Amino acid sequence: MDGCLLTRLDGNAIFIGGYNRNLTITNNELSFIGDGAMASWGDTSAALNENGTLAVPGGYKVGPDGRGGEQPRGTVVKGNICHEIGLWQKQSSLWFQAVTAQTTLQDNIFYNGPRAAFNFNDGFGGGDDISGNLLLNCVRESSDHGPWNSWSRVPYITTIRTGVPSIIPAVRNIHNNFILATYFSQQAIDTDDGSAYYEVYDNFFAYGDNGLKSDFGGHDNKWHGNVLAYVGNCYHMWSFKGYNDAFYGNQCIYRQSYGSDCGVSAGWEVHDNAVFSETGQCTVCGKDLKDYVAEGHDHGSTVAKWPADAALVAMGKKVLGMSA
């Protein structure tokens, strides 16, 4: 699907359901949509025995088993412009996916929506790649959330990660995006409710209450090489307190705090971050960051005053691979 104008539509402009492979949606404009611009929904199948017969007679659907393949996979959404969506349905996005895997979202522009631009309903399968997108003016008619939002509340069985059945999805990569978390955005990347197995790197994020967020059982969320401009906190974790999460090699200009690794779980990795505060001072676990690093924690991390605007713009251009 290429080069189309979809506008003034009541529901979803594009809907992808069930078994679908390698659909390409490129160079379209979607605007003034009543619900979301694009939605992708799959289904779980009946569980199978090793010989391919149904584990439960009669073909009843059994739990979160995705090995039957009744899901969209390999969809490419590239080079689209989307704006003014969610006129009637406020829980709407440029791209929403549920029980869908191996999606590529690349070089899209989204602005002016009531909720998240990209919403990933669950951790099904994984293997998605999100890069080169410009997202701004999201979460204008709701609260919480961010330009990106994800949940992961059910363990789905697929073979996508290694070729053998597993509830662990393949890693989702979020990289080289420019995201402005304005209006009521809580984070630029809101990995909510158990979200796990995300690699977030080489992005430019501006504003929002937090950088890395990991909550309600979230884990294995790794951030590195990002620039975070004027976030409230560089990282903030609830519940498992950083189980297998990582935050390293980032440049973070914060308004409230860098974060704290006091009481976080084993497996939390934090080091080599360039931290910038308004005063040039930073307190971690009740101590000055410089002293804390000298004691053997958070090795390689430094603190300085907020950079000049030109220096911050240069950071953003470098991380996004833009010319000077």
Distance in angstroms (rounded) separating the CA atoms of residues 224 and 203: 9
Domain assignment present for residue 293? The answer is no
Assess whether pLDDT exceeds 70 at residue 230: yes
Domain assignment present for residue 58? The answer is yes
Domain assignment present for residue 299? The answer is no
Distance in angstroms (rounded) separating the CA atoms of residues 150 and 93: 12
Q: Say if residue 57 is exposed, middle or buried (CB neighbours under 10 Å; 0-12, 13-18, 19+).
A: exposed
- pLDDT above 90 coverage of the chain, percent: 81
Domain assignment present for residue 292? The answer is no
Domain assignment present for residue 227? The answer is yes
Distance in angstroms (rounded) separating the CA atoms of residues 99 and 114: 23
Domain assignment present for residue 255? The answer is yes
Place of tokens 């705090």: 257
Q: Pick from 155, 180, 148, 165: which is nearest to 316 by CA?
A: 180
pTM for this structure?
0.94
Residue, of 112 and 240, whose pLDDT is higher: 112
Domain assignment present for residue 123? The answer is yes
Domain assignment present for residue 290? The answer is no
Going by pLDDT thresholds of 50, 70 and 90, the confidence category of residue 260 is: confident
Count of domains for the chain = 1
Are 135 and 107 in contact by the 8 Å Cβ rule? The answer is no
Going by pLDDT thresholds of 50, 70 and 90, the confidence category of residue 60 is: very low
What's the pLDDT at 209?
93
Are 83 and 107 in contact by the 8 Å Cβ rule? The answer is no
Structural domain containing residue 129? 5-273+310-320
Place of tokens 């939002």: 149
Q: Please report, for residues 28, 169, 264, the alpha-carbon distance to residue 212 in angstroms, rounded to integers and kept in the order given.
A: 32, 20, 14
